[in-house]
Structure 1
Amino acid sequence: MSYKKILLGLGLVMVGTVLFGQNAQTVAETMTLQKAIETAMVNNYDLKIAKNTLKQAENNNTIGNAGLLPSVSLSGGADYSKSDTENETTYIGLLESEGATSSGYNGSARIDYTLFDGFGNQYNYMKLQQTDERQKILFQQQMENTMLSVVQAFYDVCSAQQNLKLAIESMDISKERYQKALDRKAYGQTNKLEVLNAEVDMNSDSTQILYAEQNYLIAIKDLNVVLGLPVDSEFEVDEKLEFKKSFSEEQVINAAVSNNSTIQSQKKSEEITELDLRITKAAKYPTLSAYGQYAYSKTDYSNSNSIYSQSNGLTTGLSLSFNVFNGRQQRTREKNAQLNLLSEQERTRQVKAELERDASNAYTDYAYKMRIVELQERSLEQAELNFEQTKEMFKLGNATSIEFRTAQENMLNVANNFNDANFNAKIAEFNLLRITGELIK
């Protein structure tokens, strides 16, 4: 069987456990990369946390939260009193009142509204809007990071799955060689040493299967955590690879500077810092506020000259406040806010420079990994041809068991390298899509 066909095969049931006489769990379906990403978009823990943070930003983005709506308050109360009083006057003399009681109740409604505060409320609302927009970008960034984590974990499983399958195929070859050695010894065509060598190599392949199976099980658990599934979930993974369009370094850098979520988030941070400066400057202007209040109160008396008293009415007014001098605190806050803006502008330039570097490195990484894939593919063809020729020579007695084993191990190593090179190149391609902002469309 061709090892290249093995590498391009789909699926792998837990054949390692079958080999060792254990009960294999029936796998219901195959996990594709698309399905893995969709599952993570629903279940991933980091993404759920990011969704909550996004919702908080959406909740904060209201005109009321910015102070652009009036505030309305209601108040009310009731009281009761009982007392004995004495009052002596010049003309009447001593007046006494025993057990005099009174009860009263009151209520009021008040509305307050800031008419002008140097446009601080408007700037606050603009800041809430920009903060909401920035949080949406950060949420997209978390989605991109989650997708890239899924891709990494998914192809780790694919690689481990392929390596396990290759180890099992190598074991089959060693088993066939061991059986032929036994048959040849039975007919006196070889000695016991060749049988022992074949048995040692077969046992070595059994150990490699155990290592490969262990790596596969660990990779599955790592993927389950990223997907937000139970850790013990088992499934096959679809190993098919299809590389996307070609890239050029100039296109990658230009797309990254225009579309990358990191630079977009930083630009929003710069805009928010500029609004902070405007909000700070607004505090040096006077604040004009208006209010209106309706109040009602009534008190009932007993054992008194008065029966009751009552009042109600509407009160309105304006208030103006202006901070004439506060120890130059306002000036200091403005200077610091201006410095914060300058720092954010420098940080934007830094992010842009780092992004250009990262985009260039990502392109170089992808280009070299694709070249490695091509080289490993040619090496695999040569290793397969070498093994087939050595196998025929071994059957004819023109090659030793050591030469046969060397050709077998060389083919297995090259196949594993080709396997890893393919998946590494695919991960590099996804990283290019992420850095250019094309991962989520």
Structure 2
Amino acid sequence: MKNLFLCIAVFGCFAFAKAQTPQVWTLQECIQYALENNISVKLSELDIDAAEVEKLSAVGNFIPSLNANSSISENTGLSFNPVTNNAQTTTFLSVSGRINVGYTLFDGLRNVKQLQRAKMSQLASRYRLDKMKDDISLFVANNYLEILNNKANLKSLTAQNLVTKEQIDRTQQLVDGGQLPRGDLLEIQATNASEQQQIILAQNAVTISKISLAQLLLIKDYENFDIVDSEFEVIDEEIAEKPVNDIIGAAEATRSEVRIAEQDVELAKKDLQIAKAANYPTISAFFSYDTRYTDATSFSQIVDPDDPVRIEQIGVVQETGQAVISEIPNTTAVITGADPFFDQLYQNDGISYGLQLNIPILNGFSTRSNIERNKINVDRAEFQLEQARLDLESNVYQAYVDVQGSKRAFEAAQTSLESQELAYEYARERYDVGLINAFDFSQSKLRYDNSVISLNQAKYDYIFRLKVLELYFGIDPSELKL
């Protein structure tokens, strides 16, 4: 039993440790997850669904309308019988039903143009979704690189602090042996305290940057979220070596900004066509079928079988004054019940059909105002398209210049680090033999540490600028690599 409890405890600890293992993400996994779960992307996908509904509505304009209605009522008092149309004082139930069919034969081709517009709107929504995905991919890549940069800084600071701690131990020995003044030890200890503070700040920066990326991905388990720790020393600079005009041409052919503006122009032109179609007459056809039923009783005249005729005077001869008599049926008024339900539906049904012509003549200048308004929208969309092309060209040029500038900054940071590293090594050698004091050595080490941080910042800034240029060149966001 004791062994059983021990096994259960070991297994439980193993399961707990496994559950607490942070989930490590690559850049591609982060981008893919963001594209599938980001709220802004989901909203853009809903715009596509709305455009699909708009298209369905436009298709429905080509289908005849079919409507059916019925009513049932009970009348008490003096009412008109819906079948005999006679006024009578009674209580009766009445039922009526109707089916209407309508179809627009001609409306200035508005139905055709609305369907075309719906298809354009759907395409524009897809372009907006593509742009949203590009933006989200850049946000994810920027946050991802910021984590890498902060981790690299933390690693450098931690490594340098280990050197400082070694210097403290060595300096302590030299001070105890009377070879160095105690001020050198205090200077190294102050440097250690400053480095410990920088390490804490770097740790916080790593944590905050990881939380920012997790929030962008809508991941709530911040503590178990982490990214792959890798060194990216080799940078793919192929895209930066291409001529800027080639990148601009690829951007104009693939980027969603220009495509969206082009679709907005087409949508504005189609809206203008729809507005102009309101000037044309509308021809529509209709057909309706209706019937009715009532349970109301009625009076009918029945011939008396025992005395079928009677003699009555029906007039007088004007010249002689002689009475004119005739035999007429001898009828008696009797109450007749309602015919059966289905018999009445058959007896009382009727149909109507025809064509309807509607000619617009004067409607308060609303059609003309709508046309002029849409003309303005066309001009505005064309200006926006021209501006979108200019902005795209400007953004590509800016991205290209940023890449070149960040490349030079990265190369300068590399050169500076090499120089500072040599200077630091030289200062340490001189400090070890007592040729310089602790303050000068700390200043040299500080310059070296700052150069390491500057190189990390320059490297990851250069990588991010390259990613921006790759997107402008038409590389799919899911294919971005580091």
TM value normalised by structure 2: 0.79
- Alignment match, 1:318: 355
- Alignment match, 1:232: 222
Structure 2 counterpart SS, 1:262: helix
1:299 to 285, 294, 302: 294
Per the TM alignment, residue 202 of structure 1 is displaced from its structure 2 partner at its CA by 0.7
1:167 to 157, 167, 171: 157
Tell me if 1:428 matches 2:468. Answer: no
**1:373-384 matches, cutoff 5 A:** 373-384=410-421
Structure 1 counterpart SS, 2:349: strand
Indicate conservation of the 8 Å contact 2:71/2:96, yes or no. yes
Structure 2 portions without partners, runs of 5+: 1-18, 80-86, 301-335, 339-343
Tell me if 1:145 matches 2:182. Answer: no
Residue type of the partner of 1:238?
D
Indicate conservation of the 8 Å contact 1:373/1:422, yes or no. yes
| 1:41-72 alpha-carbon deviations (Å, 9 max, x no partner) | 22222222222222222222225566222221
- Describe the shift of the 1:84–1:404 C-alpha distance in structure 2 as closer, same or farther (beyond 3 A): closer
Q: What is the Cα-based RMSD across aligned positions, in Å?
A: 2.3
**1:57-68 matches, cutoff 5 A:** 57-62=51-56, 64=58, 67-68=61-62
Per the TM alignment, residue 187 of structure 1 is displaced from its structure 2 partner at its CA by 2.2
Q: Tell me how far apart the structure 2 counterparts of residues 243 and 226 of structure 1 sit (CA, whole Å).
A: 26
Residue type of the partner of 1:36?
C
Tell me if 1:222 matches 2:224. Answer: no
Structure 2 counterpart SS, 1:62: helix
- Alignment match, 1:243: 236
Percent identical residues: 22
Residue type of the partner of 1:337?
N
Structure 1 portions without partners, runs of 5+: 1-24, 86-95
Tell me if 1:406 matches 2:406. Answer: no
- Alignment match, 1:348: 385
Indicate conservation of the 8 Å contact 2:281/2:359, yes or no. yes
Indicate conservation of the 8 Å contact 1:277/1:338, yes or no. yes
- Alignment match, 2:120: 130
Which piece of structure 1 moves more, 426-435 or 197-206?
426-435
Per the TM alignment, residue 231 of structure 1 is displaced from its structure 2 partner at its CA by 5.9
- Describe the shift of the 1:329–1:26 C-alpha distance in structure 2 as closer, same or farther (beyond 3 A): closer
- Alignment match, 1:358: 395
**1:384-399 matches, cutoff 5 A:** 384-399=421-436
**1:71-110 matches, cutoff 5 A:** 71-83=65-77, 100-110=90-100
- Describe the shift of the 1:314–1:64 C-alpha distance in structure 2 as closer, same or farther (beyond 3 A): farther
Which piece of structure 1 moves more, 385-394 or 369-378?
385-394
| 1:166-213 alpha-carbon deviations (Å, 9 max, x no partner) | 111121111111111111122222221111111111111111111111
Per the TM alignment, residue 288 of structure 1 is displaced from its structure 2 partner at its CA by 0.7
- Describe the shift of the 1:403–1:320 C-alpha distance in structure 2 as closer, same or farther (beyond 3 A): same
Aligned length: 407
| 1:236-292 alpha-carbon deviations (Å, 9 max, x no partner) | 433443425233211122122222111100000000000000000100001011112
- Describe the shift of the 1:42–1:330 C-alpha distance in structure 2 as closer, same or farther (beyond 3 A): closer
Structure 1 counterpart SS, 2:361: coil
Residue type of the partner of 2:238?
K
1:41 to 28, 35, 38: 35
- Alignment match, 1:285: 280
| 1:135-175 alpha-carbon deviations (Å, 9 max, x no partner) | 00001111111111101111111111111111111211111
Structure 2 counterpart SS, 1:438: coil
Q: Tell me how far apart the structure 2 counterparts of residues 369 and 211 of structure 1 sit (CA, whole Å).
A: 25
Tell me if 1:211 matches 2:201. Answer: yes
